[in-house]
Amino acid sequence: MIRRPRRLRTNEMIRSMVRETHLGIDSLVYPMFVIEGKKIKKEIPSMPGNYHFSVDTLVEEVKTLIDLGLKKILLFGIPKFKDEIASEAYNPNGIVQRAIRELKRNFGDSIYIITDVCLCEYTSTGHCGMIKDQRIDNDSTLPLLSKTALSHVEAGADMVAPSDMMDGRIAHMRRVLDENGFEFIPIMAYSAKYASAYYGPFREAADSAPHFGDRKSYQMDPANGKEALLEVKLDLEEGADIVMVKPALAYLDVIKKVKEISDVPVAAYNVSGEYSMLKMAINQGLIGKDVIQETLIAIKRAGADIIITYFAKEILEKGIL
Ligand SMILES: [Zn+2]
């Protein structure tokens, strides 16, 4: 007798019955960029199909997303000016804070707003931390990150997502949020965030490329898998509610390992370079758009509970799910 696995592949009816991994709208988060100004909706050249929105057009876009059924966003801000102490990051009237208030005023609980908490879009150096003696100083950065997170939450953010990779920031942020009565706000930690070339298009989108040096003294070495588990363990000890691996595609093994040790949900960030690579190839007719679903399913199969992806809107618009 020969085993015949093909029996269960005969038609879509049976295939769907035995399918192991499902991609659902509930697990998708859509990253968005908000900028100063009015009536602006400007396509980001390196990320076709993604835009810079001013607050007013962001509200319009989010209305469209809600109508499509996409209700979770990850918000990034591009401020009007940058300085050494990233003051626009925690300005109560900064771009992200105003965007959150406007979205909540219009949509209330119909939109779930996660905010990226970092300083690199706001520092004149383009680094994620404060500079001391030519180094990215860890401990003097923590209060500014927590202050930024608090200002987002005070504006109405539902969740904060620190992406800076400073040591000890989750514990610091948790304490500051709790002390201010926000013990119910979850923290999604960018736990295993690698110093990756796949962030290239994002840096154009967020205008956050470092002006000197690189981020290798705080983001992780792509060669290290075990170290990701240490980062995850520390973030869990410090109180992270969700842990994240970023990027996703070149790190599927890391997602799998993190899933095995984590007792909280695991998020994966399908980053800008991963998006643009596929998008450009699809636009040029080199590969079919089915590659989007195949890619996201792979991330899910590796163990991600939540996928942050620039494809989220397109997936719903084109009925890819
Ligand atoms: Zn940063």
Q: For residue 245, what are the β-bridge partners?
A: 192, 268
Rounded to the nearest angstrom, the distance between the alpha carbon of 118 and the centre of ligand 1 is: 5
- Give residues whose Cβ lies within 5 Å of ion ligand 1: 118, 120, 128
Question: What pLDDT shows up at residue 46?
Answer: 92
Q: Distance (Å, rounded) from C-alpha 122 to C-alpha 106?
A: 27
Does residue 13 form part of some domain? no
Say whether 118 counts as a known binding-site residue. Answer: yes
Rounded to the nearest angstrom, the distance between the alpha carbon of 314 and the centre of ligand 1 is: 26
Question: What pLDDT shows up at residue 248?
Answer: 98
Q: Distance (Å, rounded) from C-alpha 310 to C-alpha 244?
A: 16
Does residue 5 form part of some domain? no
What is the per-residue pLDDT across 172-231, written as a single tens digit (0 to 9) for each? Answer: 999 999 999 999 999 999 999 999 999 998 887 777 788 888 899 999 999 999 999 999
Question: What pLDDT shows up at residue 232?
Answer: 98
Say whether 128 counts as a known binding-site residue. Answer: yes
Rounded to the nearest angstrom, the distance between the alpha carbon of 212 and the centre of ligand 1 is: 14
**Where are the extended beta strands (E) located within 65-224?**
72-78, 112-117, 130-132, 135-137, 159-162, 188-193
Q: Distance (Å, rounded) from C-alpha 239 to C-alpha 237?
A: 5
Does residue 8 form part of some domain? no
Domain that holds residue 54: 22-317
Rounded to the nearest angstrom, the distance between the alpha carbon of 161 and the centre of ligand 1 is: 11
Say whether 120 counts as a known binding-site residue. Answer: yes
Question: What pLDDT shows up at residue 282?
Answer: 96
Does residue 11 form part of some domain? no
Q: Which residues of the chain have pLDDT under 50?
A: none
For residue 230, give every residue at least 6 positions away whose Cβ sits within 8 Å of its Cβ, in sequence order, or none.
Answer: none
Say whether 310 counts as a known binding-site residue. Answer: yes
Terminal-to-terminal C-alpha distance of the chain: 38
Does residue 84 form part of some domain? yes
CATH number of the domain encompassing residue 193: 3.20.20.70
The domain tally of the chain equals: 1
Does residue 10 form part of some domain? no
Catalytic residues: 193, 246
Asked if residue 197 lies in contact with residue 216, where contact means CB atoms within 8 angstroms, the answer is: no
Residue 154's CB is within 10 A of a number of other CB atoms, namely 15
Question: What pLDDT shows up at residue 319?
Answer: 83
C-alpha separations of 112 from 65, 81, 186 in Å: 12, 27, 12
pTM attached to this predicted model: 0.96
Question: What pLDDT shows up at residue 8?
Answer: 98
Question: What pLDDT shows up at residue 66?
Answer: 97
Does residue 171 form part of some domain? yes
Rounded to the nearest angstrom, the distance between the alpha carbon of 31 and the centre of ligand 1 is: 15
Residue 241 exposed, middle or buried by CB count within 10 Å (0-12, 13-18, 19+): middle
Does residue 79 form part of some domain? yes
C-alpha separations of 77 from 163, 165, 285 in Å: 13, 18, 33
